[in-house]
Structure 1
């Protein structure tokens, strides 16, 4: 794999405990380009040290990892870190296991902006171009890849 993976273009994604693991990885590896937590369970409840562009998905009807808990988690991300919070309308905790245009049309731009340094995808998130299936959205618009600014 070492010859097939570009170590300069890495991101993490996970769901539930795996989502918490993805966010924990972002805290521990600030060189990552993007982190996405889908209904992430992060026992510490804080992303105060996060420097990686982070997208948090909450599911409106999730009783395991509630939107209120994830809103609080989102609010701990430093203002200097690119971030977004998206709540999927009517979804429960295991929504991630179903095909979803909501996730695809927001996750792909996030990865393109921060891993591929492709600013053209910002138009889909800043402002959010399609709110169908989304009950809440907030972000640190404009979304700017710091690696694009460095190179």
Structure 2
């Protein structure tokens, strides 16, 4: 029997070792953060139209929920990595669910269960939208067809315009939420000082419906008891920019949800240090590290 030479033996051992480390690394990562989902992020992955998870959807017809209107649930089909965090998204004044539909598959493909809603009435104000949003979140995590795919301890809310105002009210009343994202929020009250949930607020430099100086920046400045917060003012944008697919909004929203719903520090790189993004006029945050 021919014996292997030392160099050949060392080469084989090196290959075996590298394979073993490659197999062990994911397990170690999962053990360090059991909520981590998906591969390591890159600039390309957080700006892509589709993330690493294949998505399916189920409709929730009007009347099947308690306290909210019809909605659509988007969810990853691969459950091999465990349960997912959940996000409920509310549209704005006189806006149908179609205006926010793009967030559903975009976020779900990154590893979240997402529900987009129609408001009970198109003219509902922020407080009503908050109540509906929280009712939908309860339904999603306890009664929906995909409830077993959700970790009910890791939930978030998101909304646009009056839905954004409702989102801030939801964050103020529900400190157990892991994250909130308000898109050009409009509200007659400012509940910022009641919020402790990690909150990201977007504004737009051309917004005449919810101007930055009147609504979005004061909402951010009122977050005096919130340790983790961010404010992003989009460049060359208006109130309705948030009603259509937008790479900048997607990138930072995904990063915020990953960081706080999944506790995934791999996404810190897109938030800290504060990005110098040419697509934004202003970017303020407290850097979640």
**Could you tell me the TM-score, scaled by structure 2's length?**
0.48
1:62 touches 1:93 (CA, 8 Å); kept in 2? yes
Alignment deviations for residues 15-35 of structure 1 (CA, whole Å, 9 cap, x no partner): 001111111100000000000
Q: Distance in 2 between matches of 1:129 and 1:28?
A: 30
Aligned equivalent of 1:84, options 212, 222, 230: 230
Q: Secondary structure of the residue that 1:81 maps to in structure 2?
A: coil
Q: Which of the pair has more CA radius of gyration?
A: 2
Aligned equivalent of 1:117, options 247, 263, 276: 263
Alignment deviations for residues 107-150 of structure 1 (CA, whole Å, 9 cap, x no partner): 11000000000011011011244503111000012x04xxxxxx
Q: Secondary structure of the residue that 1:31 maps to in structure 2?
A: coil
Q: Secondary structure of the residue that 1:113 maps to in structure 2?
A: helix
Structure 2 gaps of 5+ residues are 1-143
**Could you tell me the TM-score, scaled by structure 1's length?**
0.89
1:23 touches 1:42 (CA, 8 Å); kept in 2? no
Q: Secondary structure of the residue that 1:96 maps to in structure 2?
A: helix
1:50 touches 1:81 (CA, 8 Å); kept in 2? no
Higher helix fraction (1 or 2): 2
Report the alpha carbon displacement of residue 97 of structure 1 after superposing the two structures with TM.
1.6
Q: How many residues align?
A: 143
Report the alpha carbon displacement of residue 43 of structure 1 after superposing the two structures with TM.
1.7
Q: Which moved more, 1:82-91 or 1:2-11?
A: 2-11
Aligned equivalent of 2:179, options 5, 11, 34: 34
RMSD: 1.3
Alignment deviations for residues 59-99 of structure 1 (CA, whole Å, 9 cap, x no partner): 11001111112111111102542100000001110101222
Q: Distance in 2 between matches of 1:74 and 1:130?
A: 19
